[in-house]
Structure 1
Amino acid sequence: MSSTASIETTTSTSHILDNPAWAALTGPHAHFAERVGRAARYPADVAGFHAITDNDDPRAWADLAALVGPGGAASVRGVDEAPDGWEIVRSGQGVQFVDTGLRAEPDPEAVLLGPADVPEILDLVARTEPGPYLPRTVELGTYLGIRHEGRLIALAGERLHPPGWTEISAVCTDPDHRGRGLATRLVRAVAAGIKERGDHPFLHAAANNTNAIRLYESIGFTLRARTLFSLIRRTGPTVAADPRESAADPEETA
């Protein structure tokens, strides 16, 4: 979507994927979380996602203000009007897909990628622009790649991890090697690992990325939700967070 930091918010918690970053940061990815009460984020070199419990809760916005500091910015999900003390810089539409018929299977050519591969991953991401990828994003889950003559030419992996779900992300192929089905093979291979541990695959895309959307629908993903992503910046003073809210509240860690 954007190379800036991002924040997931929701006005409803009827489904865990309504607020996947919050569910991940207070669940399987809690060991990554930097948290102030009702707001949380990943470290800046891991992922750009921030999250709050409820975008209608002033206490959550106060905690977010304390977390990002004066002038702090993030890409906000589901907010089309800036709360007091914030301004929207720009917005874009996004879509969320869930697996309803994907054939998941390992790929014999897919290789596991790790920290030593990060320079190559960042180079491929810079040339293909699948979305934000940072030096420690590889720590969020399994990343698989395909090489040609030793060079990384295709990539896909795991990002957000709400309980019971895992997001497939960073799906990209070198322009010189497109049209060979490499992205499909890697999505299926990553999904095989996700399903093997009992989770369900899901993913996000920009609403105007018609090629990616066509691919995902053709291999068994179904549109679940449309949402608005906005770059939002803190303009007001930081409000001190309530120290009683600094510990996790079991009722807010859905």
Structure 2
Amino acid sequence: MLNNPVWAALSGPQAGYAEAAGDAARYQPDISPFCAVSDPADPAAWRDLATLTDYALLTGPALAPPPGWVEDVRLQGVQMVGTAMTAADDPEAVPLTEHDVPEMLDLVARAQPGPFRKRTIDLGRYLGIRSRDGRLISMAGERFRMPGWTEVSAVCTDPEFRGQGLGARLTLAVAAGILARGELPFLHTVHDNDTAIRLYERLGFEHSTDVVFTSFRYTG
């Protein structure tokens, strides 16, 4: 399941956010750019994906599409799991709602945590910390959700406020909500972000597998 998290999410708990065709699915475009096929080694699944989109962002341990799909951008990453971690709520963390989306998008533009769109917040619980003057300066939330697992995502802090542990606090707070549901948290980060990897290890996450984030164009 963790080897193909987007498919597990879109064919399971998050099917309501999917556009699907046969053995392929993608999130509705204003939610997330991620797509998935049930079996990356199955050419038929990629043909199904071509009926949904001609530009696809996928993640998994290995991705080798059949002819007709051309690799555009590849980014090496790691998947980490919190199978034995403990977490805690944070008294300064406030729930974020659709009314906060403009501020969230502005923070994402400054902090660059990865893909985040105007309806990404629909996927789960998002928490934020605000500065004394009310600005949203840090946030984290839930993205891919599958049976027994939920991904911690969009962990980011305004560059002006980094180094204060805000991202760590929110990661733990989001993970606490996941654990309280009887699920386990996991997350992804790029493979050369040593600072983030060390932080997540200190929080109790462990390396699960190496992954790639790859975008492909369908040329027919």
Q: If the length of structure 1 is used for normalisation, what is the TM-score?
A: 0.83
> 1:92, 1:228 within 8 Å by CA — same for their partners in 2?
yes
Out of 75, 86, 97, the position equivalent to 1:92 is 75
Amino acid at match of 1:190: V
> 2:150, 2:183 within 8 Å by CA — same for their partners in 1?
yes
* Residues 182-228 of structure 1, C-alpha deviations (whole Å, 9 max, x = no match): 11110111111101111100000011222211110111100100022
Which structure 1 residue ranges, 5 or more long, are not aligned?
1-15, 237-254
Q: What aligned pairs does 1:206-245 form with structure 2 within 5 A after superposition?
A: 206-236=190-220
The alpha-carbon distance between structure 1 residues 59 and 168, as it changes in their structure 2 partners (threshold 3 A), is same
Question: Which of these two proteins has the greater Rg computed from alpha carbons?
Answer: 1
> 1:36, 1:64 within 8 Å by CA — same for their partners in 2?
yes
CA distance in 2, matches of 1:27, 1:82: 23
Amino acid at match of 2:174: V
* Residues 112-159 of structure 1, C-alpha deviations (whole Å, 9 max, x = no match): 001000010001110010101000000000000000121001100000
Out of 97, 100, 115, the position equivalent to 1:117 is 100
Q: What aligned pairs does 1:140-219 form with structure 2 within 5 A after superposition?
A: 140-148=123-131, 149-219=133-203
> 1:112, 1:143 within 8 Å by CA — same for their partners in 2?
yes
Match in the other structure for 1:83: 66
> 2:43, 2:65 within 8 Å by CA — same for their partners in 1?
no
Match in the other structure for 1:242: none
Shift of 1:81: 4.1
Amino acid at match of 2:77: G
1:21 equivalent to 2:3? Answer no
Shift of 1:82: 4.2
Alpha-carbon RMSD: 1.2
CA distance in 1, matches of 2:64, 2:91: 48
Match in the other structure for 1:7: none
Q: Percent identity?
A: 55
> 1:106, 1:188 within 8 Å by CA — same for their partners in 2?
yes
> 2:98, 2:121 within 8 Å by CA — same for their partners in 1?
yes
The alpha-carbon distance between structure 1 residues 140 and 80, as it changes in their structure 2 partners (threshold 3 A), is closer
Shift of 1:80: 5.2
Which structure 2 residue ranges, 5 or more long, are not aligned?
none
CA distance in 2, matches of 1:40, 1:116: 28
Out of 38, 41, 62, the position equivalent to 1:53 is 38
Out of 15, 40, 53, the position equivalent to 2:25 is 40
> 1:142, 1:157 within 8 Å by CA — same for their partners in 2?
yes
The alpha-carbon distance between structure 1 residues 199 and 100, as it changes in their structure 2 partners (threshold 3 A), is closer
Amino acid at match of 1:198: G
User: Secondary structure in 2 aligned to 1:117?
Assistant: helix
CA distance in 2, matches of 1:159, 1:65: 24
User: Secondary structure in 2 aligned to 1:118?
Assistant: helix
